Amino acid sequence: MGSYVIGIGVISAIGNNVEENFDSLVSKRTGISALTHFSTSHDVPVGQINLTNDQLKEMLGLPLGKTYSRTALLGMVAVKEALRDAGVDPHSGLRIGLISSTSAGGMDLSENFYVEMRNKENGGRLRDVVSHDCGDSTEQIASALGIHGFLSTISTACSSSANALMLADRLLNHDQLDLVVAGGIDPLCKFTINGFNSLMILDKELCRPFDATRAGLNLGEAAGFLVLQRDKPKSGKCYCRLAGYANANDAYHQTATSPNGEGPFLAMSGALKRAGLRPEDVDYVNVHGTGTGNNDQSEGTAMRRLFGEKMPRFSSTKVYTGHTLGAAGGIEAVYSALAISRDVIFPTFNFKNRIEELEMEPETEVIPNAGVKVVMSNSFGFGGNVSSLVFSAE
Amino acid sequence: MKCYIRNMSAISPQPTFATDSFLSSVVVPSADEKCLKAIEPDYKVCIKEAGLRRRMSHVIKMGVASALNCVEGANGTLPDAIITATGLGCLADTEKFLQSIIDNDERLLNPTSFIQSTFNTIGGQVALLLKCPCYNFTYVHRGFSFESALLDAMMQLEDGDASNVLVGGIDEVTDTEFRVMERMGFWRSGAKMGEGAQFFLLSSQPTSQDVAQITSLRTFLASASDGTEVESFLDSCGLTIKDIDCVLLGESGDAKMDATLLSWKESLPAGKMQATFKHLCGEYQTASSFGVWCAANLLRYQTVPDALCPVGKAEGLRRILVFNSYRNNNCSLFLLEKIDR
């Protein structure tokens, strides 16, 4: 059981491709900075990708005159890289599916359309609203890259792309497809910045995951995709195996996770059970670790319940990228694949103050040759949606 | 990969909620009505907490009430997976939050509409109210949303990861969406917009009270169609079109948007029984869930109501093929079968 990761692609605030991301991760170089792509009255730092939509179109060889949501453009960059990395030709006759996920969909365009429509009866260009729904970016990516098989899109807030990987594995196990490209995308937009600001969980400084002084999260934008196949490749690349996963619902509160971490505990223990592994087999946990008071406390409590005294090494990479919402599970799956294939642990480099009641500290230095064979990646979200993935060396 | 429909529930523009009749009386919209609004039940009965009910938008109430009603009618069988599908999610809340950003110039915004704008709000609320800490997914892919949810459910049931799965398709029409679609010329050629919330409690094991069996489903893109999808779908079930007693079509009424479906319909053998459902629920991303609800009821009641505009004849109703198309883009096929007792 468990499908194999044969290709990866990512674009985030710390790089436009896998190598740039890896280089930033091992250089402790954050992508969190001031927002410049659009104006907002909130003075909060973000994980912004420093390419305009026109620059992204140029990179992809797309006509500058055509309108695409930033969601679709970022997704195309990452999916294209993942397919190339896997050495997959979409026209090879294989049954290839695309499972994407996003929380904002085409909101980066439609939020502007909405303003213009409010100002004037027939205001706003229709081309800015046709991509509003979440399926649009998936279909744009599929069409641009020649994927004509099964398409689907998931939106479960911040756990979206972890869930896309679960569906991918299930489809492969049921022989519905030969290859699946799965992951997620979210662009920065006014809607989400204002949403998270209204919840008062945006830090005005660099976020401090699992730190006693943490004051909230930084939002980021990204796309991360993985190419999976059911059988171990006889030749060519193989990063790791998606050995197990579980999705649960905390069923506690619409936005907060329970203080005892019931949902996160169910997801993490369920993922290990599916992988046929024990808690002590886990070498590294890429935690959800957003830096909000609620998340880190709940996640830490659940980890303590699961791992007891034998806490594995863990870190949050959100100090590099910000919380990229629907893309988080995708890019962190890419980072997990890199942790295994290149045997390295990426640090939460700015951690200083331990949360006393949890008695646990994330890694603060890059650890090469860390003996990483099993990685757990957590993604928790609104609506109580919690997901855990477990990756293992082949 | 078959599964059994233990119970189902529909809030739609027709009197379909909490009733034992199957479209015996229907609401027929006039020619100039371009939008079919759902007939809303008395939500107090399903959603008892007044404060919670007040905070819920139209689409959340529709979804939650339909879901709870579906579970209640299954003699208390709680789902071990909750999978929702929606094309546009909680549009009214999304718009409300956008409006508040403009009105308040981004300052001191109330987070409620933002929280409720996320696509998984209905799934999350259902989990909260049923106290089900189980698998919880939301699919949001146009005319493949409900299809993905159902496929996921059927795979989980077959894998034994779940024994009872609650699956639903929910979408609402808002005034803004209506105006935008009007500008796009959505119904210039005869389609009407619609809304609704259909939920199904699916089980891997049959019981004596099941409504019908869902045998298989498939999706395909109209742009990639070579016209052989239905034949190959039936073939994968070991069947041909001869074995199908009634074909239930999701025609929107816009010939251009129904092109792939209509061209296949041309190839049907003469006299093959056909019926349609979208004139009753309107066109929306998850309208296929209303089609599946109708197909299951055809098998349960063994009669085709006039409201579904039947043409042709059938000896009996054992197998129904549902062919849905959304905007001549997302096409889906569902095979449902009668349960022998």
Query: CB distance B111–A195 less than 8 Å?
Result: yes
- Interface A:B, Cβ pairs < 8 A: 187
The number of C-alpha atoms within 13 Å of B12 and in the hemisphere containing its C-beta is: 34
Q: How far is B141 from chain A (nearest CA, A)?
A: 4
Distance CA A284, CA A294 (A): 22
pLDDT single digits (tens) A342-382: 999 999 999 999 999 999 999 999 999 999 999 999 999 87
Residue A254: pLDDT over 80: no
- For B151, which residue in chain A has the nearest alpha carbon? A171
Q: Which residues 267-286 of B have a C-beta within 8 angstroms of A?
A: 285
CB of A1 closer than 8 Å to CB of A77: no
Q: Which run of H or of E encompasses A264?
A: helix A262-275
Per-residue tokens: A60: 């992809």
Give the model's confidence band at B32: pLDDT under 50 very low, under 70 low, under 90 confident, else very high.
Answer: confident
CA A263 and chain centroid, separation: 19
Identify which of B39, B43, B45, B51 has the alpha carbon closest to the alpha carbon of residue B15: B39
Q: Which residues 81-120 of A have a C-beta within 8 angstroms of B?
A: 103, 105, 111, 114-115, 117-118
Which amino acid is present at B121?
T
Distance CA B290, CA B295 (A): 9
Q: How far is A313 from chain B (nearest CA, A)?
A: 27
Per-residue tokens: B328: 């001549």
Q: Which residues 186-225 of B have a C-beta within 8 angstroms of A?
A: 219, 221, 223-224
Distance CA A266, CA B337 (A): 36
**Quick one: pLDDT at residue B75?**
86
pLDDT single digits (tens) A92-112: 889 999 999 999 999 999 999
Arithmetic mean of pLDDT over chain B: 95
- Section B202-230 average pLDDT: 96
Identify which of B264, B141, B58 has the alpha carbon closest to the alpha carbon of residue A163: B141
Q: How far is A333 from chain B (nearest CA, A)?
A: 19
Tell me what percent of the residues of chain A surpass a pLDDT of 70.
100
**Quick one: pLDDT at residue B188?**
77
* Helix, strand, coil share (%) of chain A residues, nearest 5: 35, 20, 45
Of B1, B114, B128, the CB nearest to A195: B114
Q: What SS3 class is residue B121?
A: helix
- Kindly state whether A44 is in contact with chain B, defined as any CB-CB distance less than 8 angstroms: no
Query: CB distance B120–A157 less than 8 Å?
Result: yes
- For an interface test with B, the pick among A194, A201, A257 (most B C-beta atoms closer than 10 Å) comes out as A194
Chain B residues whose CB is inside 8 A of the A133 CB are: 87-88, 140, 142, 285
Identify which of A52, A47, A63 has the alpha carbon closest to the alpha carbon of residue A13: A47
Query: CB distance A122–B183 less than 8 Å?
Result: yes
Query: CB distance A134–B152 less than 8 Å?
Result: no
**Quick one: pLDDT at residue B31?**
85
- Kindly state whether B101 is in contact with chain A, defined as any CB-CB distance less than 8 angstroms: yes
Q: Where in chain B is the domain with CATH 3.40.47.10?
A: 3-203, 215-337
pLDDT single digits (tens) A302-323: 999 999 999 999 999 999 999 9
Query: CB distance B140–A135 less than 8 Å?
Result: yes
pLDDT single digits (tens) B74-127: 987 899 999 999 999 999 999 999 999 999 999 999 999 999 999 999 999 999
CA B55 and chain centroid, separation: 24
**Quick one: pLDDT at residue A3?**
97
Domain ranges across chain A: 3-392
Query: CB distance A155–B118 less than 8 Å?
Result: yes
Return the biggest CA–CA distance within chain A.
63
Q: Which residues 146-185 of B have a C-beta within 8 angstroms of A?
A: 148, 151-152, 155-156, 158-159, 176, 179-180, 183-184
CATH code of the region A3-392: 3.40.47.10
CB of A360 closer than 8 Å to CB of A210: yes
**Quick one: pLDDT at residue A236?**
86
Of A170, A195, A383, the CB nearest to B121: A383
Per-residue tokens: A260: 């005892």
- For an interface test with B, the pick among A100, A169, A198 (most B C-beta atoms closer than 10 Å) comes out as A198
Chain B residues whose CB is inside 8 A of the A254 CB are: 115-116, 121, 124-125, 128
- For A162, which residue in chain B has the nearest alpha carbon? B137
Of A41, A117, A157, the CB nearest to B105: A41
Measuring CA to CA, how many Å separate A255 from each of A217, A394, B123, B239, B243? 14, 37, 13, 47, 49
- Kindly state whether A197 is in contact with chain B, defined as any CB-CB distance less than 8 angstroms: yes
Query: CB distance B137–A173 less than 8 Å?
Result: no
Q: How far is B95 from chain A (nearest CA, A)?
A: 8
- Section B37-58 average pLDDT: 95
Of A41, A115, A133, the CB nearest to B88: A133
**Quick one: pLDDT at residue A250?**
82
Residue B325: pLDDT over 80: yes
The correct CATH number of B3-203 out of 3.40.720.10, 3.50.50.60, 3.40.50.720, 3.40.47.10 is: 3.40.47.10
**Quick one: pLDDT at residue A25?**
98
- Kindly state whether A266 is in contact with chain B, defined as any CB-CB distance less than 8 angstroms: yes
pLDDT single digits (tens) B114-135: 999 999 999 999 999 999 999 9
Of A105, A151, A191, the CB nearest to B97: A191
Per-residue tokens: A122: 């027939």
Q: Cβ–Cβ contacts within 10 Å for residue A187, how many? A: 32
**Quick one: pLDDT at residue A206?**
98
Q: Which CATH architecture has domain B215-337?
A: 3-Layer(aba) Sandwich (3.40)
Integer-rounded Cα radius of gyration of chain A: 19
Which amino acid is present at A16?
N
CA B338 and chain centroid, separation: 20
H-assigned helices in chain B: 43-46, 50-55, 58-72, 91-103, 112-117, 121-130, 145-159, 175-183, 229-236, 259-266, 278-281, 288-301
CA B327 and chain centroid, separation: 16
CA dihedral B234→B237→B238→B242, nearest 10 degrees, is -40
Q: How far is A197 from chain B (nearest CA, A)?
A: 8
